[in-house]
Each structure stands twice: as structure tokens, then as C-alpha cells.
Amino acid sequence: MSSPTSSPTTVITNIASLVTNDPSLGDGSPLGLIQDAAVVVDGDRIAWTGESSKAPATDNRVDAGGRAVIPGFVDSHSHLVFAGDRTAEFNARMSGRAYSAGGIRTTVAATRAASDEELEANLTRYLAEALRQGTTTMETKSGYGLTVEDESRALRIAARHTDEVTYLGAHIVSPDHADDPAAYVSLVTGDMLNACAPYARWVDVFCEKGAFDGDQARAILTVGKAKGLHPRIHANQLSYGPGVRLAVELDAASADHCTHLTDADIDALANSATVATLLPGAEFSTRAEWPNARRLLDAGATVALSTDCNPGSSFTSSVPFCIALAVRDMKMTPDEALWSSTAGGAAALRRTDIGRLTPGAYADLAFLDAPSHVHLAYRPGVPLVTQVWRRGVREV
Ligand SMILES: [Zn+2]
């Protein structure tokens, strides 16, 4: 097999089981699972996927040694532009104190005080940590600056390292505007948006008691949308509220957390293109109730699974850990959890070129030191990812 641009082609063979996420392939399940499989990589893309015995000739050959190969994880929700540490808060919470959104202020103060270099070093450290665990696409947000300058610099730094950048000036009302939330909403929808929009693809709001209510969230997302940013929402995390229905109303790509949902919320998600993104690292690290994944899945909603990696409520960059939680405690099947953390994450970012291993998609994939993806939940806490390729290049 040769390519018109004559970039060398590589076949990865001897794959015990391959997750393609194309139901027209392999076993016909949503995972499109192929046993004894091969993948052909041409440049940065997948050129061919199928049974080993039918693989076309290529320039190079890599033997997977009977390992499983999966699409690289698509982590569609993280907060990696920050400085400082919340160990003391976590320690206190694990000693019985409840989590409240106000803890974000600690990170805001540390982030404002940090240099650009410190913020970038922190960001790249966690991106590399996630990559080693199989994550090849990671969305990340601002939200710890809360001034025009600090939000725009967070996004400028993030945009150097990922295409999936989210403006979250509306994380909490800035402490500088604690007495006048309306003035802060005006800033978020005015000067701050203008400074941030060039670096971001998405606009997000923490719609929650103590953060922003439904009307404020609608105003922020609507103005962001008019500025060319697509909405996503932190919705229904700590309490019931208007976030999920607002997400559907505004055709947000994703409603994230979805921990407290009414039947009407679930119906709305199931009948929309808005993905329900579950972030069980947050429930784990705050000892909160799990989101009800089964209700969402059984109703027909599209579910994504991501880390919410942030220093306050979910300081894990590990998608395999979230998969184990989703299977053990949220009653997702191992197949559903794998799909949700790859194709589901891609859907939450409205992408079809990642999260699957089919011709034309980016060659973003992970090798597992295991015969199948089921081991990600079956062997919790074990570092099973042995190789990670991104855009056709082995990076781990
Ligand atoms: Zn979040």
C-alpha cells in the first residue's frame, strides 16, 4: 500500500482485540470489536482496519504482541491551567467537611500570582501525565483567572497545547465582584469575552447555586455563541437545576456532570444532540453520590466519560481510573465505559476524526498490556497502557 504523498505506511499486526468504534466492523457491536486485528497507519491517519490475515502490504510493520489496541482516550473536560495546591482542602473534606464551590477561590489566587512559565509548565506536566495513560485529546478550560488579563492568558497558554480550548470566565463570580454579580456577568460577556474568544473554541458556565443561575448562564452562553464560541455547560452537579435543560435549549455540545437529573432532564438529553458527560472522579474525590449512568443510557442519551481533572474536586488525569469507577459504581458495562471515554468524548467535542479507529480518522491509539479493553475495569489501578500513538507517531 503506497500513499500518493509517499509517506511511509505502517501496519500494526497481531492485535488480540481492536476497538474501532465502528459498528459496521467486527462483531457489529457499538465498539466494532475485531479479534486478531491489524491497523494500517498512513501519515497521521488510519488507512485501513480489519483482520490481520487481510492486511495490505505496507512499508513498515509493528507487532502488537497479542495486546489490545483501543482509540486514544478523548478527555472532553479538564481544568489544567492553574497553579497551587488544594491538599489541605481535600484532607479536610476527607475528614468530614462538605465541598463547596468557594474552594475555587484558593486556586484563583494562586493562578493569578503565577508566571506564564509556571502555568505552562504545570499544564504540560498534566497533559504528559494524561498521555502516558492513553489520552490523546484533552479539552481544557480557563476559569482560575477571572480577570480579562488572567483569563485570556490562560487560554493563550492552553491554545499552544490543545485545539479544544474552553472559555470559562463564568466559573465562579470573581471575588473582585462578590458584591455585584451582575457587573461580573457584564464583564464575562463583554471585555473578557472579546479578549478570550480568539483563543477558544468553546464557552462554558458553571450553572449552580453559588455560581451562576439559569438566566445568567443563558446570557453568557448566548453572547458567547454570537461571538462564534460553541456552548458546553457545567450542569446539575451539586443540585437539581436548569443547567441540563438550558444545554439542550442552546444545542450545547455537552452537559457536564449530570449528577442530579429529573426525568424531564433525562428526556431532554435523550432527544437532543447534547452529550451527557459524566465525571466520576469528582464524585469519588468529594464522596458524593454517583451520577445515574444507567438511567441516561437506558433512555438513549449519548454518554461521555471524562476526568474533570482539576486541583479542587477531581485531581486525577486518569481515564482508566474513571472507567473503573463507571463500571464498578455507576453500573456501566465495560463496553459502554470504553465507548464513552473514546467515541463519547469525541461526540462531546462534536468531532468524528478522533475516538475511533476507522479509515480517515487520526491515528490516535493506545496499546494495552492485556488481551482486551475489559481489563481496564477488571484490573483497576494497574498501568496497562504500554504504547500511545498520536497523529501516527509513537509518543509513549
Ligand atoms: Zn469542570
pLDDT surpassing 80 at residue 289: yes
Whether 307 and 78 have beta carbons less than 8 Å apart is answered as yes
pLDDT surpassing 90 at residue 75: yes
What percentage of residues in the chain have a pLDDT greater than 90? 93
Mean pLDDT of the chain: 96
The predicted pLDDT at position 5 comes to 55
CA 206–ligand 1 middle distance (angstroms): 8
The predicted pLDDT at position 100 comes to 59
pLDDT surpassing 60 at residue 258: yes
182, burial (CB in 10 Å: exposed 0-12, middle 13-18, buried 19+)? exposed
The predicted pLDDT at position 97 comes to 73
Of 97-111, 156-170, 172-186, the least confident: 97-111
Residue 319, classed as helix, strand or coil, is helix
- Dihedral of the CA atoms 101, 347, 340, 387 (nearest 10)? -100
CA 197–ligand 1 middle distance (angstroms): 19
CA 60–ligand 1 middle distance (angstroms): 42
**Residue 162, CA distances (Å) to 76, 91, 145, 230, 395 in order:** 11, 32, 19, 16, 16
Residue-by-residue DSSP string for 254-312: EEEE--S--HHHHHHHHTSS-EEEE-HHHHHHHTPPPP-HHHHHHHT--EEE---BBTT
**pLDDT tens-place string over residues 367-377:** 999 999 999 99
CA 62–ligand 1 middle distance (angstroms): 38
The predicted pLDDT at position 3 comes to 46
pLDDT surpassing 60 at residue 13: yes
CA 272–ligand 1 middle distance (angstroms): 22
Residue 4: pLDDT band with limits 50, 70, 90? low
Nearest CA among 243, 240, 242 for reference residue 232? 243
What percentage of residues in the chain have a pLDDT greater than 70? 97
CA 304–ligand 1 middle distance (angstroms): 14
Of 4-8, 84-88, 247-251, 282-286, the least confident: 4-8
CA 139–ligand 1 middle distance (angstroms): 11
Average pLDDT over residues 164-184: 97
Residue 88: pLDDT band with limits 50, 70, 90? confident
β-bridge mates for residue 277, sequence order? 256, 304
**Single pTM value for the model:** 0.97
Q: What is the DSSP letter of 144?
A: S
d(CA 296, CA 278): 10
**pLDDT tens-place string over residues 331-372:** 999 999 999 999 999 999 999 999 999 999 999 999 999 999
Hey, do 9-72+356-394 and 73-349 end up sharing a CATH topology, with the first three levels equal?
no
Q: Is 308 labeled as ligand-binding?
A: yes
Q: Is 163 labeled as ligand-binding?
A: no
d(CA 149, CA 146): 8
Give residues with Cβ within 8 angstroms of 97, minimum separation 6. none
Q: Is 144 labeled as ligand-binding?
A: yes
Q: How far is residue 256 CA from its own chain's centroid?
A: 10
Average pLDDT over residues 150-168: 98
Return the domain boundaries, the chain. 9-72+356-394, 73-349
**pLDDT tens-place string over residues 138-147:** 999 999 999 9
The predicted pLDDT at position 102 comes to 56
d(CA 231, CA 54): 43
Residue 63, classed as helix, strand or coil, is strand
CA 77–ligand 1 middle distance (angstroms): 6
Whether 172 and 105 have beta carbons less than 8 Å apart is answered as yes
CA 193–ligand 1 middle distance (angstroms): 19
pLDDT surpassing 50 at residue 317: yes
Q: Does domain 73-349 have CATH number 1.10.510.10?
A: no
Q: Give, in words, the CATH class of 9-72+356-394.
A: mainly beta
Residue 66: pLDDT band with limits 50, 70, 90? very high
CA 7–ligand 1 middle distance (angstroms): 40
Q: Is 230 labeled as ligand-binding?
A: no
- With left for phi above 0 and alpha for psi between -120 and 50, is residue 145 left, alpha or beta? alpha
The predicted pLDDT at position 96 comes to 84
Half-sphere exposure of 209 (CA within 13 A, CB side): 7
d(CA 71, CA 365): 4
Whether 322 and 334 have beta carbons less than 8 Å apart is answered as no
Which residue is associated with the grid cell 455563541? 225
- At residue 31's C-alpha, the angle toward residues 388 and 323, to 5°, is 60
87, burial (CB in 10 Å: exposed 0-12, middle 13-18, buried 19+)? exposed
Residue 389 C-alpha cell reads as 500513538
The predicted pLDDT at position 20 comes to 98
Give residues with Cβ within 8 angstroms of 28, minimum separation 6. none
Q: Is 35 labeled as ligand-binding?
A: no
The predicted pLDDT at position 34 comes to 98
The predicted pLDDT at position 184 comes to 98
CA 331–ligand 1 middle distance (angstroms): 22
CA 171–ligand 1 middle distance (angstroms): 9
Query: What b-and-e string marks burial along 224-248, b requiring 16 or more CB atoms within 10 Å of the CB?
Result: beebebbbbbbbbbbeebbbbbbbb
The sign one gets for the Cα dihedral 53, 56, 62, 64 is negative
Nearest CA among 71, 76, 74 for reference residue 254? 76
